[in-house]
């Protein structure tokens, strides 16, 4: 049974939409309807906006130590409820239950990290050029915030916004994905049950374009944070321009993986095959363009293919499953289009390349070799279990090819040569570089892209700073 009751959270109260509208939530592994997610009406959104303005006054006046105590209580409640939250996550999103539990563990870590870091929103004193003057730089919460997030990490995407805002002293209205609402509701319940003041956290659902245009037209939110696709990010930026909101944009990428001949190929394959098929490749930092140096190319393709064939695909609630379905049937069509286009461009499919079964949105772990740079899959983010592999000869050539797209989120390098690693770390046009391991996302380190992958960071001291503004105060004679 789907454990979560789906409701909106407005001004500290759980409710249905005032116009009674809703949409079904589908289990992507079984195509069953799990529940109905309520849609907020325009008047519900206006109440949420007003509540966030009032909630902000209360929360910003709450000391960082008291805020941390509430966030810590919410984190403890999430820990107590982890099995139920992870079950909700798997049922609505599809990833294996074990992966869902790891995700909720990460959610708890992020909450704790921001709660603690909120105590350290330090300013500074600057020596003055005016005799007797004291010059102070202080950090204060930016104001009520709003956030819109995608379905691929129903917990992580949500907590990075909620905990970042609350840790900094902001209130927030969040619109999680309508495809994965239950995880967000379960997390929000932990915050409410922990004693968060009414209006500090508001959760709404609806038709995404309608909700975001209404909320962003209001001058109440002073900050918007979005995780999702590049076209939607650009659209939200335009909507935010009229009221000049501060923006954090965590958008898509197309992560190059550079494997040099001097890398330990077996270790590299073991790391990359697991990482590629995690969450069925629906990860903004998923490795998506594999450049392997000439001498290792053949062995790499064979080894990757073997490992892809061994991935156990199925319903994420079943034991031993390593990869679940895609989020929706629209994504199966997109995978087929990528594969057909790659074939037309001369690529070979060494395994996979098709839908699996006829119930649930399963797509086979797919490896494509000899993929030319102008195939669509080397240009557009695949966001699925597809691994296109090509080869390269020289350092300069691979850097140029890796940097050839407008995106710049994650990038990965495998080499045993420290000098080469240092040189390519500098050369890659990306916000994140992982050398010999993929650990580029932790609560305590900045996570974010450059160029069309967006701007602003989540995590690290930068993640807290995204919800703070700077005030300069100078005083004399007091």
Residues that bind ligand NAD (CB under 6 A): 148, 150-152, 177, 208-209, 212, 227-229, 232, 235-236, 250-252, 284, 381, 383
Compute the least distance from the CB of residue 384 to ligand NAD, in Å: 9
The encoded tokens of residue 255 equal: 């992560």
Catalytic residue among 92, 250, 322, 381: 250
251 vs 258, beta carbon nearer ligand NAD: 251
Compute the least distance from the CB of residue 51 to ligand NAD, in Å: 20
Annotation marks residue 266 as catalytic: no
Beta strand 133-141 with 468-476 is antiparallel
252 vs 360, beta carbon nearer ligand NAD: 252
Compute the least distance from the CB of residue 363 to ligand NAD, in Å: 14
285 vs 367, beta carbon nearer ligand NAD: 285
Catalytic residue among 99, 117, 284, 381: 284
Compute the least distance from the CB of residue 218 to ligand NAD, in Å: 14
Compute the least distance from the CB of residue 230 to ligand NAD, in Å: 7
282 vs 305, beta carbon nearer ligand NAD: 282
41 vs 62, beta carbon nearer ligand NAD: 41
283 vs 413, beta carbon nearer ligand NAD: 283
The encoded tokens of residue 329 equal: 């049937």
- For the purposes of burial, counting CB atoms within 10 Å of the CB of 2, is it exposed (0-12), middle (13-18) or buried (19 or more)? middle
Kindly report each contact of residues 391-399 with a partner whose C-beta sits within 8 Å and lies 24 or more positions away, as own/partner.
391/291, 391/292, 391/293, 391/294, 391/297, 392/258, 392/291, 392/292, 392/293, 392/294, 393/293, 393/294, 395/420, 395/423, 395/424, 398/258, 398/291, 398/293, 399/424, 399/427, 399/428
194 vs 335, beta carbon nearer ligand NAD: 335
Compute the least distance from the CB of residue 209 to ligand NAD, in Å: 4
Compute the least distance from the CB of residue 210 to ligand NAD, in Å: 8
CA distances from 308 to 153, 269, 284, 377 (A): 23, 10, 20, 18
HSE of 116, CA atoms in CB hemisphere, 13 A = 12
196 vs 284, beta carbon nearer ligand NAD: 284
Compute the least distance from the CB of residue 324 to ligand NAD, in Å: 15
Annotation marks residue 190 as catalytic: no
Closest residue by Cα to residue 224 from 467, 39, 43? 467
| CA distance linking residue 282 with residue 152, whole number of Å | 6
Which residue numbers are catalytic?
A: 250, 284
């Amino acid at each position: 049974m789907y454990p979560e009751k789906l409701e909106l959270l407005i001004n500290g109260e759980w409710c249905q939409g005032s116009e009674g509208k809703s949409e079904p939530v589908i289990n992507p592994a079984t195509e069953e309807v799990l529940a109905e997610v309520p849609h907020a009406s325009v008047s519900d959104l206006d109440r949420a906006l007003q509540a966030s303005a009032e909630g902000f006054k209360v929360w910003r006046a709450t000391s960082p130590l008291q805020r941390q105590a509430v966030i810590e209580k919410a984190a403890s409640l999430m820990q107590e409820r982890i099995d139920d939250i992870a079950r909700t996550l798997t049922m609505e999103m599809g990833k294996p239950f074990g992966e869902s539990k790891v995700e909720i563990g990460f959610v708890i870590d992020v909450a704790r990290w921001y709660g603690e870091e909120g105590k350290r929103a330090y300013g500074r004193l600057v020596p003055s050029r005016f005799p007797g003057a004291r010059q102070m730089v202080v950090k204060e919460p930016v104001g009520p915030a709003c956030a819109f997030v995608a379905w691929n990490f129903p917990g992580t995407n949500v907590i990075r916004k909620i905990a970042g805002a609350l840790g900094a002293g902001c209130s927030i209205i969040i619109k999680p994905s309508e495809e994965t609402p239950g995880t967000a509701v379960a997390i929000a319940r932990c915050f409410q049950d922990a004693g968060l003041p009414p209006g500090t956290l508001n959760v709404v659902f609806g038709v995404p374009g309608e909700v975001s245009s209404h909320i962003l037209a209001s001058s109440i939110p002073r900050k918007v944070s979005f995780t999702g696709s590049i076209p939607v990010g650009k659209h939200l930026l335009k909507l935010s321009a009229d009221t000049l909101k501060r923006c954090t944009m965590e958008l898509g990428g197309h992560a190059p993986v550079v494997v040099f001949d001097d890398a330990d190929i077996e270790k590299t394959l073991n790391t990359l095959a697991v990482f590629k098929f995690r969450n069925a490749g629906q990860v903004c930092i998923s490795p998506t363009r594999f450049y392997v140096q000439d001498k290792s190319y053949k062995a790499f393709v064979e080894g990757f293919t073997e490992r892809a064939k061994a991935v156990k695909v199925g319903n994420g609630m079943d034991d031993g499953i390593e990869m679940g379905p895609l989020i929706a049937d629209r994504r199966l069509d997109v995978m087929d289009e990528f594969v057909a286009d790659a074939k037309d461009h001369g690529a070979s499919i060494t395994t996979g390349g098709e839908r699996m079964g006829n119930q649930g949105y399963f797509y086979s772990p797919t490896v494509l070799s000899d993929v030319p740079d102008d195939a669509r899959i080397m240009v557009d983010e695949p966001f699925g279990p597809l691994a296109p592999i090509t080869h390269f000869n020289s350092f300069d050539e691979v850097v140029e090819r890796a940097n050839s797209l407008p995106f710049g989120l994650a990038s990965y390098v495998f080499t045993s040569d420290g000098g080469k690693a240092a040189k390519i770390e500098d050369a890659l046009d990306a916000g994140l570089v992982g050398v010999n391991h993929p650990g580029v996302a932790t609560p305590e380190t900045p996570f974010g892209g450059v160029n069309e992958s967006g701007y602003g960071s989540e995590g690290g001291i930068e993640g807290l700073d995204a919800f703070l503004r700077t005030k300069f105060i100078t005083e004399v004679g007091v």
